[in-house]
A and B are shown apart, each in its own frame.
Chain A
């Protein structure tokens, strides 16, 4: 009998990784390797008056903007190009790159770094969302410091509010979060056969290529990016490697020797981008029966000193602001605000975790005000197939939240427990619902990415899959070949899918937005089918496939109207907690989840994603406090930035629901981010239940719980 695609197999990369054989960027050997260290401006907002550097010994370089090749631009080509390679004149955030010291001996580099002195003229600083909006430090971006300023309208809010008998207002906030990929940022650059080569621990090799080409003033064909096995990324290696690659490329152009830039942990914690902090201000109108008749939400995110991908993060945040609920009349105002904070960037979920947290807490709070259980209240509004989405598109999915909720209740004996614990008793259960639009927003795949993929059958019958998506722990080097093996009916050992090299693979797009398995995996499936048909055509067969946009998915990017996503993953998460009366420490007693990811390509890999994602989200919701003060992240060691250990949370229950998506391979949908989306709000909800008071922000630390308990 043919095996089900979901049946688990051993990951192809597991053995070499567990044996310590796999080489990561800092494990690689290069002849005559030089070390690069970024020299930073240690002011949040200032004009640089002068930079004095010591006399450099032979073989040492201080690379600055003056070294950018003729015709090259001091701009990193990302989604926007406002982030410069080296500070132009004005420093806009603490830690901005001024230059790069390069040389063979690291101690000498440190000594040289100490001897560099930068003179500044200090300028006014703006760090918070409100300070940014008030132009406290002047105009960082445009006229109003808003990189993005969007409105969404569904139904008729005005009319809705006219029907309201009460209006409930509140503000909810989420904090920064650091990725803590266990392998810090790292790249190596060199010059070979007339080409600039960068080996990178990254998610998007083609992004780097595009980012540095205008800096070097060279055609993209002269740049080769090779993917190094990546020790975790979570969005932190989506755009940020560009920021290192650009000065590195300039250094390579000057020095023409292999140069390694690997951050150490403190540097990584202090000077890399984080998840956007967010604020939601809700005004919700209720009728006499407590039904929601209108909702007006103001969402702002702290984007920091450069735009990077903040507007797309903002879009996801506002698209998620009704969570899994169909609310009839809604207006959302969303702004991504420029400040002198470190630029915020992509992080697993990309704005959705923020939007969903705000939404879930607000819905729970309305229910609690009405004296109704949050679950009962939320169920009334569950989105159903055919309903209108917040962007006035159509929900094409069969929504199976009820079934999932039932499974979670059964696994956790939730009913019985809720009957036993009373609110404020110190024990509580929180339940969150969530969805994640899989893949790029709207028609991004069609308009921007245009993924291509190649498959080769070699003379020996082995098959090679050529694409640009990277293995960063999520299992693609297993799941892509597994899809091909299932279609081709050959053993997976005959199929390879190696770390991409941009000079060899077609651009199948970045490894982001939970798109890889669903979108690119579909291309693998299609290419495999074609290859199967043409298998006997020749000794060697090459198949090339292009992305095809699903039918019935209309989107207008200018107005943000239509089907924002072709399909959604769905989740339910229940958390049980006990709050210590003396210390307000929270013991998590149980975690039960159910997810609809279409069809699991490999159940073990999916459960691994669920487990990792939920724990990371629980860290976000409970432990991972990251304060920004005077331009600096205050928790800049792993002793102070607290992520979960093996002892912080209990082992969890993870169930899957099958709900095949026709445009995904074997019915699979995106899931990598979905599994992050519900942990924080379930935790906060559980704490609210346990202490009998409302919480308005994450992380819900013992300090904050104590503060809330002292309230009134």
Chain B
């Protein structure tokens, strides 16, 4: 076990862990951040999406050892921010949520997209969400949710 220090949702923390342990497991099991979901554990579904140094990553593929000194943001840290609230509301108003299992990951991917591209086209939204699988919605309403967040979030993004 080694001590690994990093910034989680804007707070400095450190965890005792084996370096190869998945960030996903540390977040969910050690830190109780269950907005981060495991849908596949193989990088395919995006349910485990978090931001690492501001970039969208799949936490199931990140060994905690590579997180030392980094900043990690999860939905828990973002849901009460302007960005988080804007997306969550837009998703709720667009019918983007069904079973909800993919949704936290979708929200993270949307935030990552809108931060670098405040007015994405439909095709750009599709690319931005292409690593996040949803089996319920067929994606249209999620795409509309991102569009709505882009419209409503003037100044936020």
Interface stretch (choices A23-31, A318-326, A567-575, A580-588): A23-31
A18 at the interface (CB under 8 A from B): yes
Contacts of A21 in B (CB 8 A): 35, 79
Q: CB-defined interface of A404-415 with B at 8 Å, one 1/0 digit per residue?
A: 000000000000
B135 touches A11 (CB 8 A): no
A232 at the interface (CB under 8 A from B): yes
B44 at the interface (CB under 8 A from A): yes
| Contact residue among B36, B129, B135 (Cβ-Cβ distance under 8 Å from A646) | B129
| Contact residue among A11, A472, A651 (Cβ-Cβ distance under 8 Å from B143) | A651
B117 at the interface (CB under 8 A from A): no
Question: Which residue among B102, B107, B122, B135 has the maximum number of chain A CB atoms within 10 Å of its CB?
Answer: B135
B44 touches A182 (CB 8 A): no
Given A13-B97, A234-B135, A652-B138, A646:B44 Cβ within 8 A: no
Q: Which residue of B lies closest to A20 (CB)?
A: B35
Q: Which of B97-136 contact A (CB under 8 A)?
A: 97-104, 107, 122, 125-127, 129-136
Question: A-contacting residues of B (Cβ < 8 Å)?
Answer: 28, 32, 34-42, 44-45, 47, 74-76, 79, 84, 87-89, 91-93, 95-104, 107, 122, 125-127, 129-143
A611 touches B101 (CB 8 A): no
Given A10-B92, A183-B39, A611-B141, A231:B133 Cβ within 8 A: no
A616 at the interface (CB under 8 A from B): yes
Q: How far is the CB of B155 from chain A (nearest CB, A)?
A: 21
SS of B interface (majority): loop
Q: Could you jot down 23 A-B contacts, CB within 8 Å?
A: A13-B97, A14-B91, A18-B91, A18-B103, A18-B104, A20-B103, A20-B107, A21-B35, A26-B34, A180-B133, A180-B135, A182-B47, A182-B134, A265-B40, A266-B41, A473-B100, A608-B137, A637-B42, A638-B40, A638-B44, A646-B126, A646-B134, A652-B140
Given A27-B34, A232-B99, A639-B42, A18:B135 Cβ within 8 A: no
Given A643-B135, A646-B129, 8 new contacts (CB under 8 A) = A8-B95, A20-B76, A21-B79, A608-B137, A611-B140, A612-B137, A645-B131, A651-B143
B42 touches A232 (CB 8 A): no
B135 touches A26 (CB 8 A): no
A614 touches B138 (CB 8 A): yes
A647 at the interface (CB under 8 A from B): yes
Q: Give the number of A-B contacts (CB < 8 Å).
A: 181
Question: Which residue among A8, A17, A604, A615 has the maximum number of chain B CB atoms within 10 Å of its CB?
Answer: A17
Contacts of A421 in B (CB 8 A): none
B129 touches A230 (CB 8 A): no
Q: Which residue of B lies closest to A604 (CB)?
A: B95
Tell me the bound Cα distance from A538 to B58 in angstroms: 55
Q: How far is the CB of A59 from chain B (nearest CB, A)?
A: 19
Question: B-contacting residues of A (Cβ < 8 Å)?
Answer: 8, 10-11, 13-24, 26-27, 29, 179-184, 229-234, 264-266, 472-475, 604-605, 607-608, 610-616, 637-639, 643-647, 649, 651-652
B79 touches A19 (CB 8 A): yes
Tell me the bound Cα distance from A8 to B95 in angstroms: 9
Tell me the bound Cα distance from A616 to B137 in angstroms: 9
B44 touches A639 (CB 8 A): yes
Q: Which 8 A-B pairs have the closest CB atoms?
A: A20-B35, A17-B100, A231-B101, A473-B99, A611-B138, A615-B138, A473-B98, A27-B34
B133 touches A643 (CB 8 A): yes
B97 touches A647 (CB 8 A): no
B139 touches A11 (CB 8 A): no
Contacts of B45 in A (CB 8 A): 182, 265, 638
A231 touches B88 (CB 8 A): no
Tell me the bound Cα distance from A120 to B61 in angstroms: 37
Given A18-B103, A180-B135, A182-B135, A646:B88 Cβ within 8 A: no
Tell me the bound Cα distance from A330 to B68 in angstroms: 70
Contacts of A179 in B (CB 8 A): 135
Tell me the bound Cα distance from A27 to B38 in angstroms: 10
Given A638-B45, A639-B42, A20:B95 Cβ within 8 A: no
Q: How far is the CB of B89 from chain A (nearest CB, A)?
A: 8
A183 touches B101 (CB 8 A): yes
| Contact residue among A472, A475, A613, A651 (Cβ-Cβ distance under 8 Å from B140) | A651
Tell me the bound Cα distance from A645 to B127 in angstroms: 10
B136 touches A17 (CB 8 A): no
Contacts of A24 in B (CB 8 A): 34, 37, 101
Tell me the bound Cα distance from A651 to B127 in angstroms: 14
A231 touches B100 (CB 8 A): yes
Contacts of B98 in A (CB 8 A): 232, 473-475, 608, 612
B97 touches A182 (CB 8 A): no
Tell me the bound Cα distance from A27 to B48 in angstroms: 13
Q: Which residue of A lies closest to B108 (CB)?
A: A20
Tell me the bound Cα distance from A184 to B138 in angstroms: 19
